[in-house]
Chain A
Amino acid sequence: MQVHQQASEHSDAIDLMINMGPQHPSTHGVFRLVIWVDGERIVKVEPHIGYLHRGSEKICESEQYNQIVTLFDRLDYVGNLNNELAFCLAVEKLTETVVPERAEYIRVILCELNRIASHMLFYGVYGLDAGATTPMLYGFRERERVQELFESVTGARMMHNYIRIGGVKEDVPADFEKNVRKLLGDLKKGVEECDSLLSQNEMFLARTKGVGIISGDDALDYGVTGPALRASGVVEDVRVTDPYSIYERFDFGIPVGSMGDCWDRYFVRVEEMRESIKIIEQALAELPKGEISAKVRRIVRPPAGDVFIRTESPRGDLGVYIVSDGSDKPYRVKVRPPSFANLQALESMLKDTYIADAVLVLGSIDIIMGEVDR
């Protein structure tokens, strides 16, 4: 064993370099990973990103504030509404806009549903990463239910452009509350079904338990946030520790893991879906009547200054930094994408694991290349 470790420290002992991606079904987008192996043990990895770099932040500088909302949809294309919310909150803070109560509740309901949809997608493809085909069918079935509701409310399955500066685009349809109640009933059953299908499966446990471990301190040092950080035992959820919108009114728990391995990262997300359902139930019970948008000028001109806002997207701490010079276009927009920082920790997670686990560890971070590359 000792000989083995010694050998891996010398670079001339590395006999094989493996290239994974950018076109690879398990990289969840165009992502390239170069892996150096010693036998079957991973010695070093080098992630290459940027294949999807579109200059989104730079495009924002030449668009008016209202037009930027749709660009934010396209960053994290699985958690669209959470991204729209982050940008709108930042502009609202800068312009000191008070959002009507009804709009706040609609936002929270939809954003939490989006979190469930995103985690369901993760659930499905993570099963697939582990070699189980069935979970994908169940995960996508549940996600499809949420998407159907989104379609009835926003008119689009993805890229909604629904949350606007000052509120939301239009009021929800008359049967919204009825539909959400029915959806919640289905989702509750769905989460239980998914959980019982995969979480305690013996082969799944054998593949994910104790694989890709990262300690809480290390994760924090790498800037890991969201479910991946909580899986390592750090209690940090922006919705609770630095509350935005109306999250401080709801009662919900923060699922926290203990080991920081792949299974913890998976299971934290399953538990999070249950907590999100709790939030939606509370919000739905309190949903007030009234205006759905504050009176906002058609062309928004925030006062000169800068604002930084943190929100909890399905993947972690989504930050938006806006510098305004008082004109109708932002001077600088910076997105702090959670996947980008989470991906940095990959080299630490993959060190000394086996080549067969590389896909599972990568999948457990749940990256979306649209927001990594921007």
Chain B
Amino acid sequence: MMLNDHLMKGHYTITTRNNNISSKSETQSSSVAKPLDQKESELLKNLKLAFAEFSETEVSVSLDMVVLRVEPGRLLDICESLKSNPKFSFNYLSCITVVDYEEQEEIFEMVYHLVSIDYHHKLAMKVSLPSNSPVVPSIFKIWKSADWFEREAHDLFGIQFEGRENLPPLLLYEGFEGYPGRKSFPFHEYEEW
């Protein structure tokens, strides 16, 4: 009987932490930005090795985060490699952010935050787009979680995604004019009703 199986104790496993998952650190308080720990330094080294051949990519460090700067044209190749290369194994796309630098440098900066569940390291990948034609390849085919984040970026910032044309609005309604996420949008003067 199917139900009896579920009543069996021990169906549930509770994994207790062990040293593989996290090593106790010696730091007093974790609020302070720590320098790169071991797994992140390893990631930095591997990234430099893997992408040294491309002059368009640039690896740097910001606080405790490894940052990879990528040209839009190379984005798909690099994402593919970040996901499938067993040294990186970034199997989880956490978030896609658009930062509007239109007034200062006439660019939109896309920030992709990637996490590896296997190695517990994380990475910020940044792509700069010209603000007059913000077009970037869609990474929806690589990580499905990009779906709504890309639609949100399209809604609020007017980013165009190659391979995903005619995106329906997600957070806004049909027929909304303008891109309310942008700095140029008169957010506080805007009256709807």
Contact = CB atoms under 8 A, between A and B. Distances in A.
B73 interface: no
A246 B16 contact: no
Place the interface of chain B in its size category: 35 or more
A221 B145 contact: yes
B2 A235 contact: no
Contacts of B16: 251-254
A258 B5 CA distance: 13
B91 A220 contact: yes
Q: How large is the interface on A (under 10, 10 to 19, 20 to 34, 35 or more residues)?
A: 35 or more
Contacts of B170: 49-50
Contact of B94 (A61, A200, A223, A263): A223
Nearest to B95: A336
Given A223-B94, A340-B148, A308 B124 contact: yes
B55 interface: no
A257 interface: yes
B33 interface: yes
A295 interface: no
A55 B170 CA distance: 13
Interface stretch (A72-80, A119-127, A236-244): A236-244
Interface string B39-59: 000000000000000000000
B113 A331 contact: no
B17 A240 contact: yes
A186 interface: no
Contact of A341 (B3, B25, B63, B148): B148
Q: Max chain B CB contacts within 10 Å: which of A94, A209, A223?
A: A223
A96 interface: yes
Interface in B1-22: 2-3, 6-7, 11-17, 21-22
A351 to B, nearest CB: 14
Interface stretch (A1-9, A33-41, A97-105, A140-148): A97-105
Given A99-B29, A256-B13, A307-B33, 16 more contacts: A49-B171, A53-B172, A104-B31, A202-B3, A235-B15, A235-B21, A236-B117, A254-B14, A258-B11, A306-B124, A308-B95, A334-B97, A334-B111, A344-B147, A344-B148, A373-B171
Interface of A: 49-50, 53, 55, 57-58, 61-62, 89, 92-94, 96-99, 101, 104, 200, 202, 205-206, 209, 217, 220-223, 234-236, 240-246, 248, 251-258, 263, 267, 271, 275, 305-308, 310, 317, 319, 321, 323, 331-332, 334, 336, 340-341, 343-344, 373-374
15 contacts: A49-B171, A104-B29, A223-B93, A235-B21, A240-B21, A241-B117, A241-B120, A245-B30, A246-B29, A248-B22, A267-B12, A307-B33, A317-B94, A334-B95, A336-B113
Interface of B: 2-3, 6-7, 11-17, 21-22, 24-25, 28-33, 62-65, 91-95, 97, 99-100, 111, 113, 115, 117, 120, 122, 124, 143-145, 147-148, 169-173, 180-181, 183, 187-188
4 residue pairs, one from A and one from B, having the closest CB atoms: A223-B145, A336-B95, A253-B14, A50-B171
